[in-house]
Structure 1
Amino acid sequence: MAKQRKTKQQIQQIAQAQLGYEQLRPGQADAIAALLKGQDTLAVMPTGSGKSAIYQLAGLLIPGATVVVSPLLALQQDQKAAIEAQKLAEVGVVNSTIAEAERAAAFAQLAESNLEFLFLAPEQFNNEEVLEQLQAAAPSLFVVDEAHCISEWGHDFRPDYLRLGTIIEALGHPLVLALTATAAPPVREEIVDRLGMQKAKVVVQGFDRPNIWLAVERYEDTREKQEALLDRVVRAEKPGIVYVATRKRAEELAEALEEQEVKAVVYHAGKSPQVREAAYRAFMDDEAEVIVATTAFGMGVDKPNVRFVFHYDISDSIDSYYQEIGRAGRDGESAQAVLFYNPEDFNLRRFFASGGKIETEDVEQVVQALQEREEPMAPRELQETTNLSRSKLKNTLNRLGEVGVLETLPNGEVVPNESLPDLEEAVEEAVRLQEHRQQYVRSRIEMMRGYAEVRDCRRRFVLNYFGEGLSESCGFCDNCKAGITNEPETGHQPFPINSQVVHKSWGIGTVMRYEGDKITVLFETVGYKTLGVGMVLLRGLLKRMDTAVADSTIRS
């Protein structure tokens, strides 16, 4: 495929002519230009910043079909309708809701090179025919929307996404565009690695949403907290979203709001698809004032006039929290994001996080089942053979893949690698890797505690988490309003933000933020750690990466 080198000015002109964009938003032109140069590209841009325009323009400019993988069936139809309304190109959708005749017509158009955009749900690759059809069509651009779903560090991990890297290679590695609204540095690295992106261009547009008021209200009593939240919802400008951790609590709060004459609906994974869709539509069409939801109500919710996002329960990470509050104020007008915080809420999050442990026996059982079969096995077969829970099997397969024991085929089946490593060592390494994952998950919960209890600008805390700095306090959070801030003092920062350091026990880490006399470092093995700067310097707990390498060379 010939690379098309176009200037940002030329891209802007095409965007105006094709999409009616008076001006491309920051990051859009950079991502499109990288793709036209033939670079795989990861675009990390806030929700509402026009990520879809990137693949639409790039797809039109690069000869050949564009495949867009998205887990959001409703959003696929919305995107199809938008492209058709603009009369950009022919577009098709293939997912579980599509009739067989429409599905066949889409693939026929693709085979005849009459289809520019094809939207697919990731589970469609369970059908080998889908991969064969795509291989014959040889798409030029492969787009992974909601790309954080491939990362176990991300806030919405989807196992079906794990095979996308294998599928990309099976298609001859067309250009890859990965899109996400939230991805902290380790999530970005995992997206690039798992998709097999080559010489990837990473475009990160600012995470700041300055129109969202950030606040935390602390309560020691559960009843007091619930009464406070109900009162705030009643008085708040609507519509709004209330996030909770459990289905039961969602039902209880929605009922309590109805008693207060607030038009509330419930959304969680325990509801049937039809009931969830009805709740979604009622909220999106302003028939319901408030939706009380678990995190099942998430990606693809693009309602511009949400005036508040209240959290009755604390999120499992800053990644999740930022994604959830990002549904407020998309029209650019002021909105509120308030966390109703009780320190005891962490007990529930820790309980949820404790379920990911795998034992040596579990790993050995999976390896034995694979070795006894001469054919590839589907995860469902493995689950029946081993009697492991779905989540435990998922973790085991992921770790065995990381240590080179097995390989996941494009259709989702798994096979042992032909050249197996030392199995005993590999099993031990798989268990160890999962322990590190759990430590990491726990550390992210502690970062959420850090946000809830920080005595500094809350916006600076969030932006630091995503690898961005904020030189001055935001002035639009509860701490700033109360005058509780610690302006950065560069003279007291022995290691620059985003620099790499080494700890004797925890290995390599990245400096994320300073708060007063504390330094927070993200370690590759154990996650986030917050240390006293004075103790770090006194005991020499951290060394800059280049210094540590030099010391190692001298000792050797």
Structure 2
Amino acid sequence: MTEQDAVRRLRQIATETFGWHEFRPGQLRAMSAVVAGQDTLAVMPTGSGKSAIYQVPAMLLDGPAVVVSPLISLQHDQVVSLLDRGIVARELNSTLGATERETVYRELADRDVQFVFLAPEQLARDDVRERLAAAKPALLVVDEVHCVSSWGHDFRPDYLRLGDLVDQLGRPVVLGLTATASRPVRSEVVERLRLRDPLVVVSGFDRPNLSLAAVPATDADGRLAAVVERAAGIAGTGIVYTTTRRETEQYAAALGERERDGRRLRAAPYHAGLPKAERARVHEDFLVGRLDVVVATTAFGMGIDKPDVRYVLHAGVADSLDSYYQEIGRAGRDGEPAEAVLFHGQADLGLRRFLSAAPPDEQAVAQVLAAIQAAGTPPLRRDLAQQTGLAVQLVGRCCSLLEQVGAVRFDRRNRLHPSSSDEADLVSQAMRLAETRQQVERSRLDMMRDYAETTGCRRQFLLSYFGEELPEPCGNCDTCHNGSAEQHARDSRESPYPLDSRVRHTEFGVGQVLQFDGDRIVVRFDEVGYRTLSLSAVEENALLEQL
């Protein structure tokens, strides 16, 4: 099939099968690459139609598409949507019984299924990997692909083995999709998934209809009052993000006491501690308009397809700019004006650091490695948990670190085999890796603080984090409105270090220049994460060498 024929067929399928008459920026380019057999990484904003990038070309491929998606609810929504269009799609997840699972396997073997959705945890099962391989899939789709990167804001060890899966499935075309991936994340995704000569499509991160603002609010009561006042003053539905479950209940109650247009706001809390049925009810009520505002932890929002959300308010800093961008991206998907406001205080950073997962201690890592080396037959992670008395989740994190430093390897049955290297050195390597990752997490939080405190154009700061340059202040953020962005721009000077260039710091080592903001330069160092440096101090003390 020629490229011209492929484009024609893609347009035809999009119109006749899915009812889509126009492509959004970047979609057709990515689809064409997939049809041509080229690995592809597509980074596109929330609401830009990422699912179309695999659904349309998969209809032209000879073999099923395997879609790895992190949440069962998202898998189910996609399956229902495809079935409604007469396309055979199935799920393979923990909700299926043995009979239902066997039925899906049989349909795969008979080539009756065009799409099969599963979570990465399912790939730990021997039967899943073997049956998928036997079906000879033509396309492997990895949704939320930033989860594969230790630089990503939602790193998940289960995603690490997707590179091995590619080979086990017979090397189908690989398509990675995400709404948020900075340059370091994109580089690691390509490496981890072993993408071959991939096309990397990065659609514009700018959402001009979103008005950006940050409001200092250190006092808890004052912050609550300010958030409620802001939400009550904006017409339409919205989402308020809080840091803790307790705060969701507190803010929802306060919002429910507030009136707008002669009636009380309809507000509800949402967090992972609520019963599943209650979470489903809140989700549905929000989508159909029975709620004005949902107050949630980050457990809410993934898979929300509601175009008329008019505001997203954060009652505290997110854990990173990646998370923040993804969360505010749920506002204004209809292209109409919407607001994204961050209420922040110095104590937020300490709370976020407290809530972040601490790395496994050295004793636990050594204990797990010793158990693997002493095992008569290769153990599973649950075997190790029983033997060591450690929690399964902790054992999994230890194994992930040990795998990444080459101390152990997983076989096709997900059993663990030791390497022959020196144990003490391997444990030390694993601990250094854990410490590096923790430093990265802290540095990403520091970038969130810098966004909140910048006096420059807030949109320029946010976009530059993702590698996108906005030549002039945006005119639609608080710093542009109050004039500080203009003053900041006048005081700025050109950076002597080009963006993306590699540099070496006298203390922090080698890194990549990501951002220039006035007299500050942001570098992502390989070993210590993001650092914001004073350009004057850098030049005065000769701290950076361009490589």
TM-score range, shorter chain: over 0.9
Structure 1, residues 99-126: CA drift from partner, whole Å, max 9, x if none? 5554333322211112211122323224
Contact 2:493 2:518 (C-alpha < 8 Å) held by counterparts: no
Structure 1, residues 233-267: CA drift from partner, whole Å, max 9, x if none? 22222211110111111111112222333211111
Rounded to whole Å, the distance in 2 between the matches of 1:218 and 1:26 is 36
Shift of 1:6: 4.7
Normalised TM-score (structure 1)? 0.92
Q: Confirm whether residue 305 of structure 1 aligns to residue 308 of structure 2.
A: yes
Tell me what 2:423 maps to: 423
Shift of 1:400: 1.2
Contact 1:222 1:342 (C-alpha < 8 Å) held by counterparts: no
CA shift in 2, pair 1:51/1:489, >3 Å: farther
Shift of 1:469: 0.8
Superposed counterparts of 1:111-260, under 5 Å: 111-260=109-258
Tell me whether 200-209 or 161-170 shows the greater mean CA deviation.
161-170
Q: Confirm whether residue 315 of structure 1 aligns to residue 318 of structure 2.
A: yes
Shift of 1:198: 2.2
Structure 1, residues 387-433: CA drift from partner, whole Å, max 9, x if none? 4455543432222111111113455443224xx33332222111111
Tell me what 1:68 maps to: 67
Aligned with 1:487: secondary structure?
helix
Contact 1:217 1:341 (C-alpha < 8 Å) held by counterparts: yes
Contact 1:217 1:339 (C-alpha < 8 Å) held by counterparts: yes
Tell me what 2:34 maps to: 35
Q: Confirm whether residue 381 of structure 1 aligns to residue 383 of structure 2.
A: yes
Rounded to whole Å, the distance in 2 between the matches of 1:484 and 1:389 is 51
Rounded to whole Å, the distance in 2 between the matches of 1:378 and 1:212 is 48
Tell me whether 510-519 or 113-122 shows the greater mean CA deviation.
113-122
Contact 1:243 1:295 (C-alpha < 8 Å) held by counterparts: yes
Contact 1:8 1:30 (C-alpha < 8 Å) held by counterparts: no
Aligned with 1:380: secondary structure?
helix
CA shift in 2, pair 1:386/1:131, >3 Å: same
Superposed counterparts of 1:312-461, under 5 Å: 312-353=315-356, 355-389=357-391, 392-410=394-412, 412-417=414-419, 420-461=420-461
Structure 1, residues 40-63: CA drift from partner, whole Å, max 9, x if none? 111111111111111112211221
CA shift in 2, pair 1:365/1:251, >3 Å: same
CA shift in 2, pair 1:333/1:38, >3 Å: same
Structure 1, residues 470-509: CA drift from partner, whole Å, max 9, x if none? 1111111100111111338896310111211112332221
Shift of 1:152: 3.3
Rounded to whole Å, the distance in 2 between the matches of 1:188 and 1:457 is 25
Shift of 1:200: 2.3
Q: Which amino acid aligns with 2:476?
A: F
Contact 2:163 2:194 (C-alpha < 8 Å) held by counterparts: yes
Structure 1, residues 293-326: CA drift from partner, whole Å, max 9, x if none? 1111132111111111111121110011111111
Q: Which amino acid aligns with 2:22?
A: Q
Contact 2:42 2:176 (C-alpha < 8 Å) held by counterparts: yes
Rounded to whole Å, the distance in 2 between the matches of 1:244 and 1:108 is 45
Tell me what 1:80 maps to: 79
Contact 1:166 1:410 (C-alpha < 8 Å) held by counterparts: no
Rounded to whole Å, the distance in 1 between the matches of 2:12 and 2:544 is 50
Q: Confirm whether residue 272 of structure 1 aligns to residue 275 of structure 2.
A: yes
Aligned with 1:472: secondary structure?
coil
Any stretches of 5+ residues in structure 2 without a counterpart? 259-263
Aligned with 1:114: secondary structure?
coil
Contact 1:356 1:395 (C-alpha < 8 Å) held by counterparts: no
CA shift in 2, pair 1:490/1:315, >3 Å: closer
Contact 1:163 1:409 (C-alpha < 8 Å) held by counterparts: no
Rounded to whole Å, the distance in 2 between the matches of 1:161 and 1:413 is 17
Normalised TM-score (structure 2)? 0.93
Shift of 1:9: 4.5
Contact 1:150 1:157 (C-alpha < 8 Å) held by counterparts: yes
Aligned residues: 539
Rounded to whole Å, the distance in 1 between the matches of 2:395 and 2:301 is 25
Aligned with 1:449: secondary structure?
helix
CA shift in 2, pair 1:512/1:8, >3 Å: farther
Contact 2:43 2:203 (C-alpha < 8 Å) held by counterparts: yes
Q: Which amino acid aligns with 1:414?
A: L
Contact 1:164 1:410 (C-alpha < 8 Å) held by counterparts: no
Q: Confirm whether residue 47 of structure 1 aligns to residue 49 of structure 2.
A: no
Tell me whether 208-217 or 158-167 shows the greater mean CA deviation.
158-167
Aligned with 1:356: secondary structure?
coil
Contact 1:501 1:508 (C-alpha < 8 Å) held by counterparts: yes
Q: Which amino acid aligns with 2:341?
A: V
CA shift in 2, pair 1:356/1:251, >3 Å: same
Any stretches of 5+ residues in structure 1 without a counterpart? 546-556
Tell me what 2:261 maps to: none
Q: Percent identity?
A: 45
Shift of 1:203: 1.2
Shift of 1:177: 0.7
Aligned with 1:179: secondary structure?
strand
Rounded to whole Å, the distance in 2 between the matches of 1:8 and 1:531 is 48
Tell me what 1:549 maps to: none
Q: Which amino acid aligns with 2:291?
A: A
Shift of 1:5: 4.3
Cα RMSD (Å): 2.1
Shift of 1:332: 1.0
